A and B are shown apart, each in its own frame.
Chain A
Amino acid sequence: MKTPHRLRANTGTVAPFLFILTLPFLTLPPLAGAQGESVCVQCHAAQSGRGAIPVKPWRESIHAANGISCSDCHGGDPKDAANAMNPAHGFLGAPQEVQIPSFCGRCHVGIKEDYLQSAHGRALGKGGPTCVTCHGSHEVKKAELELINEKSCSRCHSYDRAARIKAAMQETEGMIVAADRKIHGFRKLGIETDAYEKGLYSTRNRYHRLFHDVDTARIVAESARIRGEVARLNGSLGVIDEALRKRKLAGGAAVGLALLAGIGCYLLKKTYD
Chain B
Amino acid sequence: MPLFKKLFDWLEVRIGVRELAEKELTSYLLPRTINVWYSMGSILLAIFALQVVTGILLMVYYVPDADKAFKSVTAIMNEVPFGWLIRLCHAVGSNMMVLILLFHMFSVLFMGSYKSPRELNWLSGFILLNLVLGISLTGYLLPWSQLSFWATTVATNSVGAIPYVGGYLTEFLRGGKLVGPPTLGRFFALHVALLPLLIASVVAIHLFLLERIGVSSPPFGQENSANRWEGDRFRYEDHPGGIPFFPNYLLQDMTSIFVYLAFFFAVVFFAPSIFFPFDAFSPANPFQTPAHIKPEWYFLANYQTLKLFPNEFIGLMVQGVAMTFLAVLPFLDRGKERHPLKRPLFMLCAIGGIALYLALMIWGHYS
Contacts of A269 in B (CB 8 A): 247-248, 251-252, 255
| B223-254 interface bits toward A, Cβ cutoff 8 Å, 1 = contact, 0 = none | 00000000110000000000100011001101
Nearest residue, chain B, Cβ from A262 = B258
Binding stretch for chain B, among A29-37, A46-54, A85-93: A29-37
Q: Which of A15, A188, A248 contacts B281 (CB 8 A)?
A: A188
Q: Which of B127, B255, B316 contacts A262 (CB 8 A)?
A: B255
Is B276 in contact with A190, judged by CB distance below 8 angstroms? yes
- Closest chain-A Cβ to B338's Cβ sits at a distance in Å of 17
Measuring CB to CB, which residues of chain B are less than 8 angstroms from any residue of chain A?
74, 77-78, 84, 87-88, 116, 119, 123, 126-127, 130, 133-134, 137, 150-151, 153-159, 161-162, 231-232, 243, 247-248, 251-252, 254-259, 261-262, 265-266, 268-270, 272-273, 276, 278, 280-281, 288-289, 291-295, 299, 302-303, 306-307, 312, 316, 319-321, 323-324, 327-328, 331-332, 334, 367
Is A192 in contact with B74, judged by CB distance below 8 angstroms? yes
Q: Which of A28, A67, A258 contacts B303 (CB 8 A)?
A: A28
Contacting B at CB under 8 A, from A184-226, are 184, 187-192
Task: Say if the beta carbon of A18 comes within 8 Å of chain B.
Answer: yes
Is A24 in contact with B281, judged by CB distance below 8 angstroms? no
- Closest chain-A Cβ to B126's Cβ sits at a distance in Å of 8
- Closest chain-B Cβ to A22's Cβ sits at a distance in Å of 4
State A32–B151 Cα separation when bound (angstroms).
Answer: 10
Nearest residue, chain A, Cβ from B367 = A32
Is A29 in contact with B272, judged by CB distance below 8 angstroms? no
Contacts of B334 in A (CB 8 A): 4
Is A11 in contact with B328, judged by CB distance below 8 angstroms? yes
Q: 12 extra interchain contacts, Cβ-Cβ under 8 A, other than A27-B155, A188-B281? A: A7-B331, A11-B331, A18-B323, A21-B127, A25-B133, A29-B155, A34-B153, A35-B293, A258-B261, A261-B258, A262-B261, A272-B251
Nearest residue, chain A, Cβ from B307 = A30
Is A187 in contact with B281, judged by CB distance below 8 angstroms? yes
- Closest chain-B Cβ to A95's Cβ sits at a distance in Å of 27
Interface centre among A8, A18, A247, A252 (most CB of B within 10 A): A18
Q: Which of B87, B88, B255, B270 contacts A265 (CB 8 A)?
A: B255
Contacts of A8 in B (CB 8 A): 331
Q: Which of A189, A247, A272 contacts B247 (CB 8 A)?
A: A272
Is B261 in contact with A192, judged by CB distance below 8 angstroms? no
Task: Say if the beta carbon of A82 comes within 8 Å of chain B.
Answer: no
State A184–B156 Cα separation when bound (angstroms).
Answer: 31
Q: Which of A14, A24, A192, A251 contacts B268 (CB 8 A)?
A: A251
A-B contact pairs, 29 of them (CB 8 A): A3-B231, A15-B324, A18-B126, A18-B323, A19-B324, A23-B320, A24-B159, A26-B316, A29-B154, A31-B151, A31-B293, A32-B293, A34-B154, A67-B291, A188-B281, A189-B272, A189-B273, A190-B280, A192-B74, A247-B269, A255-B266, A262-B255, A262-B258, A262-B259, A268-B247, A269-B248, A269-B251, A272-B251, A273-B248
Task: Say if the beta carbon of A177 comes within 8 Å of chain B.
Answer: no
Task: Say if the beta carbon of A250 comes within 8 Å of chain B.
Answer: yes
Contacts of A187 in B (CB 8 A): 278, 281
A248-B269, A269-B255 in contact; A35/B307 too (CB < 8 A)? no
Contacts of B159 in A (CB 8 A): 24, 27
Is A29 in contact with B303, judged by CB distance below 8 angstroms? yes
Measuring CB to CB, which residues of chain A are less than 8 angstroms from any residue of chain B?
3-4, 7-8, 10-11, 14-15, 18-19, 21-36, 65, 67, 184, 187-192, 247-248, 250-252, 254-255, 258-259, 261-262, 265-266, 268-269, 272-273
Contacts of B88 in A (CB 8 A): 190
A3-B231, A31-B150, A191-B77 in contact; A15/B269 too (CB < 8 A)? no
Give 6 nearest A-B pairs by CB, closest first: A251-B269, A262-B258, A269-B251, A29-B154, A28-B302, A258-B262
State A22–B320 Cα separation when bound (angstroms).
Answer: 7
Is A24 in contact with B134, judged by CB distance below 8 angstroms? yes
Contacts of A27 in B (CB 8 A): 155-156, 158-159, 161, 316
A192-B74, A272-B251 in contact; A36/B289 too (CB < 8 A)? yes
A251-B268, A269-B251 in contact; A25/B150 too (CB < 8 A)? no
Give the secondary structure class of A's interface. Answer: helix
Contacts of B261 in A (CB 8 A): 258, 262
A248-B270, A255-B266, A265-B251 in contact; A26/B320 too (CB < 8 A)? yes
Is A35 in contact with B276, judged by CB distance below 8 angstroms? no
Contacts of B266 in A (CB 8 A): 251, 255
Contacts of A248 in B (CB 8 A): 269-270
Contacts of A24 in B (CB 8 A): 134, 159
Q: Which of B130, B162, B288, B291 contacts A22 (CB 8 A)?
A: B130
Nearest residue, chain B, Cβ from A36 = B289
Q: Which of B150, B276, B291, B327 contacts A15 (CB 8 A)?
A: B327
Nearest residue, chain B, Cβ from A3 = B231
Is A14 in contact with B327, judged by CB distance below 8 angstroms? yes
Nearest residue, chain A, Cβ from B312 = A30
- Closest chain-B Cβ to A5's Cβ sits at a distance in Å of 11
State A159–B189 Cα separation when bound (angstroms).
Answer: 66
Contacts of B155 in A (CB 8 A): 27-29
State A187–B133 Cα separation when bound (angstroms).
Answer: 27
Is A265 in contact with B258, judged by CB distance below 8 angstroms? yes
State A29–B258 Cα separation when bound (angstroms).
Answer: 36
State A273–B293 Cα separation when bound (angstroms).
Answer: 51
State A29–B294 Cα separation when bound (angstroms).
Answer: 9
Is B265 in contact with A29, judged by CB distance below 8 angstroms? no
State A236–B263 Cα separation when bound (angstroms).
Answer: 32
Contacts of A36 in B (CB 8 A): 289
Contacts of B134 in A (CB 8 A): 24-25
